[in-house]
Amino acid sequence: MKRNLKIKLVAVDLDGTLLDNDGKISPRVKEAVRKVREKGVEVTLATGRTFLSAKPFAEELGLNLPLITYMGALVKYSDSQRTLYERRVPSGLAQEVIKATRKRGYPINFYVDDCVLVEELAPQNIEYARKYNVVVKEIGDLSNVSNISPIKLLIINENEEEMNKFEKECRELFGKYLHITKSMPEFLEFSHPEATKARGLEAVAEHLGLKKDEIMAIGDSYNDLEMLEYAGLAVVMGNAREDIKRYADYITATNEDDGVAEALEKFILKKEAGI
């Protein structure tokens, strides 16, 4: 475990990390974030969610830093329209991904201006919209938006074995041109190659004049890996898969057991209190 780090910024993933399984921030986690910020340590969110989906959680915690959203494709202040960093998927590549996905019959989400465009409202899209609080619009053939560069694309398939095979195919086809990752086992996501949580976190760090060693990152999934590698202190949730825990400097409790609070208490609050 890394020692003697002076943490000045904490980047926290949302689903499976900051949020419990009901999508809520527990009182203990909320209090730990408040105390950390009172100590002068900055906190931001780093999520695959849309900006508008992440913003209410930032407001609940009183955060005023740029939020790392869409897996780093959009870094934007929660209390204004000021954008710090943005990278979009080239329109031509987006259409190639759509064509490859259509052959498999998987639902695909096309993200633009905090709205999700879909060819038809499949049950998976409806559940996604409900769970992640996003607006989904059915527009028919996505080739109708072939002139638009989306901020990301997301494929939904609950058959993990099938998804893993398709992911392999997509990496062979698009891996040189796009960043491909999973935020959940059933979600395969495509973004600009410079749209990762690490690049988003780097933009925030440079904005604040901070070094890597002054940053703690907390996450639980595959789309957190670059961020965990970038940060000076990598904290992985106890509910993460074993292959993700390999990237941890410290494995904290699960999201149901206030793992974020445990990490903040251990490395910032108790450390500064001399405990």
Q: Are residues 61 and 105 in the same domain?
A: no
Q: Are residues 81 and 215 in the same domain?
A: yes
Q: Are residues 95 and 185 in the same domain?
A: yes
Inside any domain, residue 3: no
Give residue-wise pLDDT tens across range 218-233. Answer: 999 999 999 999 999 9
| DSSP-assigned letters across all residues of 122-169 | -HHHHHHHHHHT-EEEE-S-GGGGTT---SEEEEE-S-HHHHHHHHHH
Inside any domain, residue 2: no
Q: Are residues 131 and 101 in the same domain?
A: yes
CATH number of the domain that residue 217 is part of: 3.40.50.1000
Tokens of 219: 């996450």
The residue among 162, 191, 220 that closes a domain is 191
- Judged by DSSP in three states, 52 sits in helix
- The number of folded domains in the chain is 2
- Mean pLDDT of all residues in the chain? 93
The residue among 170, 191, 212 that closes a domain is 191
Inside any domain, residue 97: yes
Q: Are residues 22 and 155 in the same domain?
A: no
143 burial type by CB count under 10 A (0-12 exposed, 13-18 middle, 19+ buried): exposed
> Which pLDDT band, with edges at 50, 70 and 90, does 275 fall under?
very low
Q: Are residues 112 and 245 in the same domain?
A: no
Q: Are residues 111 and 23 in the same domain?
A: no
Give residue-wise pLDDT tens across range 122-169. Answer: 888 888 888 888 999 999 999 999 999 999 999 998 899 999 999 999
pLDDT value of position 272: 52
Q: Are residues 237 and 116 in the same domain?
A: no
Give residue-wise pLDDT tens across range 32-77. Answer: 999 999 999 999 999 999 999 999 999 999 998 999 999 999 999 9
Q: Are residues 114 and 155 in the same domain?
A: yes
Mean pLDDT of 78-98: 93
pLDDT value of position 188: 95
Give residue-wise pLDDT tens across range 238-251. Answer: 999 999 999 999 99
d(CA 226, CA 205): 15
Full-model pTM: 0.92
Mean pLDDT of 17-27: 97
Inside any domain, residue 147: yes
Domain hosting 150: range is 91-191
Q: What is the torsion angle, in degrees rounded to the nearest 10, for the CA atoms of residue 241, residue 247, residue 253 and residue 257? A: -60
CATH number of the domain that residue 97 is part of: 3.30.1240.10
CB 138 within 8 A of CB 108: no
The residue among 166, 191, 216 that closes a domain is 191
The answer, yes or no, to whether residue 207 has pLDDT greater than 70, is: yes
Mean pLDDT of 210-214: 96
Inside any domain, residue 140: yes
Inside any domain, residue 1: no
pLDDT value of position 130: 87
Q: Are residues 223 and 184 in the same domain?
A: no
